[in-house]
Amino acid sequence: MNDSAPPSDLLEAATAVQAHAYVPYSRFPVGAALRTPDGRVHVGANVENASYGLGRCAEQSAVQAMASAGDRTFVELVVVSDADPPASPCGACRQVLFEFGADADVWIANRDGAVRRTRVRDLLPDAFSLHAP
């Protein structure tokens, strides 16, 4: 599986932040890196909690970092895990990603070089929106 190589800087950033994942419960570290239209890069890792339901996925951490920095759109996203095949963003993440990057390109990767390329819009067809279609 190697649909198309991810942007190398985003792959590096996602891999680097994956090492910061706080995953004492699942032992399933995930890293995410996204790029805004102006070229800024924001990253996030998954951060779990003893109260399991309070854990935060990597993709959502990256979106939170982006929005907290004042950015409102991303155009590219790379997600890295150790899973084979690479782990696709969960349903909740898809909705969060759609809010800020419906048209973004997405590379779902692992550290063995497996990659699947898709788009946020294709990951979440018929997304919920408050705006008129």
**Residues in contact with ligand THU by the rule CB under 6 A:** 23, 26, 28, 30, 46, 48, 55, 57-59, 89-90, 93
Q: Which is nearer to ligand THU, 28 or 72 (CB)?
A: 28
Q: Which is nearer to ligand THU, 48 or 71 (CB)?
A: 48
Q: Which is nearer to ligand THU, 38 or 122 (CB)?
A: 122
Task: Tell me whether residue 59 is one of the annotated catalytic residues.
Answer: yes
- From 7, 73, 17, select the one nearest 44 (Cα to Cα): 17
Distance from C-alpha of 22 to C-alpha of 69, rounded to nearest angstrom:
22
Q: Which is nearer to ligand THU, 39 or 125 (CB)?
A: 125
In the complex, the smallest distance separating the C-beta of residue 74 from ligand THU, rounded to whole angstroms, is: 16
In the complex, the smallest distance separating the C-beta of residue 55 from ligand THU, rounded to whole angstroms, is: 5
Distance from C-alpha of 99 to C-alpha of 97, rounded to nearest angstrom:
5
Catalytic residue among 12, 48, 59, 99: 59
Distance from C-alpha of 32 to C-alpha of 16, rounded to nearest angstrom:
9
In the complex, the smallest distance separating the C-beta of residue 39 from ligand THU, rounded to whole angstroms, is: 25
User: Would you tell me the crossing angle of helices 58-68 and 91-101 to the nearest 10 degrees?
Assistant: 30
Is 14 within 8 Å of 33 (Cβ atoms)?
Answer: yes
In the complex, the smallest distance separating the C-beta of residue 70 from ligand THU, rounded to whole angstroms, is: 24
| End-to-end CA separation in angstroms for the chain | 35
Active site residues: 59
